[in-house]
Amino acid sequence: MNLLIQHISQNPKLPGLAIFLICIIALSIAFFVEYVVGIEPCILCLYQRIPYVAAGIFALFAIIAPAGGFTQQAALAGCAVAFMAGSGTAFYHFGVEEQWWAASCSGAQDLNMSLQDLKASIMSEPLKPCDQKDWVMLGLSITVYNTIGSLFLAIGSFTSLHIIRKLKEHSLNQ
C-alpha cells in the first residue's frame, strides 16, 4: 500500500491513466472475441461493455483535470460507480446463465401464450440467448471473471480516490 501511495504522490494522474488503459484493453478484448474469434455477444454481454466505456471517459477527465482537484476526484468516483454497476450487470448475467433467475433474453417462452404472442415474441427475440455460455475457463464463465474484475477495479478506483484526497489534505496542511 505504501508503494501505491508513493507512486500516486509522484504522479497523481497515474490512477486515471491506469483505468483508461484497462478500459481500452477490456473493450479491445471484447471486440477481438466478437469480430475475430466469432463469438456473438448477447444483449447482456453488450450491456457489460457500457461501464467500461463510461469509466474510460471518466478516466480521461481524471487525466486532464488538475491533480487533486474536484474534477479529478469526481472522475475517479465516477469510475468507481461505473465499475460497481458493471459488476452488478455481470453478476446478473451470471445468474441468468446459471438459471437462478429468468431474463427476457434467455429464450424462455411462456406456455400460456397465444399463437400471435408467440410469433411476436420469436420475432423480437435477440439472435443470441443470454443464458448460453460460450467461453468457460476453469469451470467459470467470462461473466464471473467480469464480476470479480469490475469489483476489483471499483475498489482500486475508490482506493485511488482516497489516496488523492489524503494527499491533497496533507499538502493543504503543510
pLDDT tens readout for residues 80-127? 999 999 999 999 999 999 889 877 776 555 556 677 766 666 566 556
Does residue 104 sit in helix, strand or coil?
Answer: coil
Does residue 63 surpass a pLDDT of 80? yes
Please give the radius of gyration of the chain, using alpha carbons only, rounded to the nearest integer.
20
Residue 60, C-alpha cell as written in the block: 480521461
Predicted model pTM: 0.83
